[in-house]
Amino acid sequence: MLDVLTGEWMGKVSGLGAGVDSYYEILLKSFVMFGEPQDAEMFHVSYEAIKQHMRRGRAECNSGSGLHPLYVNVEMGTGNTATNWIDSLQAAFPGVQVLHGDLEEAICHHALYYSIWKKYGCLPERYNWKLDAPDVKFYPLRPELVESTYLLYRATKNPFYLHVGRDILIALNNHTR
């Protein structure tokens, strides 16, 4: 978070969720829509930093041993893990990864959020990955996971994502009316 008057950093934690999720999404979508090279370059530099500093877990998504990959909140000065939670707004990032062409990483990241959805019938606002439990349990009907699911289907044509969409729709009808 920046102070708009001084340009100084106010927050010292960075992540892909609340407070910054739209930045990456808009930066890439702006390039897609307007073709400005500086938007593509800013996104590319940011994306490389995200993968280097925020990604945790095994190196390969679908093979190897170790924890399933996820993107964590980090301390900006050190790159150390800052929190033990991820939030529902971060579920937009697999869609951003699809638009960027990083399909394997998008599929992997989406699988994490979908597994949380399946476990709870919706995506908790904040999920503590260390405790394997929600920290903030409400769900304000966010569209991020749905959009990522749609973009993955469009990119892969894999009917699995149609089933995911159906599961989400059924859960919304059953739990949010």
User: Do the bridges between strand 13-14 and strand 74-75 make them parallel or antiparallel, or are there none, so unpaired?
Assistant: antiparallel
DSSP lists the bridge partners of residue 14 as 74
How many angstroms separate the most distant Cα atoms in the chain? 50
Which residue out of 8, 125, 144, 147 is catalytically annotated? 125
Both structure tokens of 4: 């708009």
> 57 is written with which tokens?
């877990």
Give catalytic status of residue 125 as yes or no.
yes
Handedness of CA 36, 37, 40, 45 (dihedral sign): negative
Q: Which of 104, 109, 162, 172 is nearest to 141 (CA)?
A: 172
- Token pair for 9: 């950093």
- How many other C-beta atoms lie within 10 A of the C-beta of residue 158? 12
Neighbours of 11 (CB within 10 A): 11
Catalytic residue numbers read 125
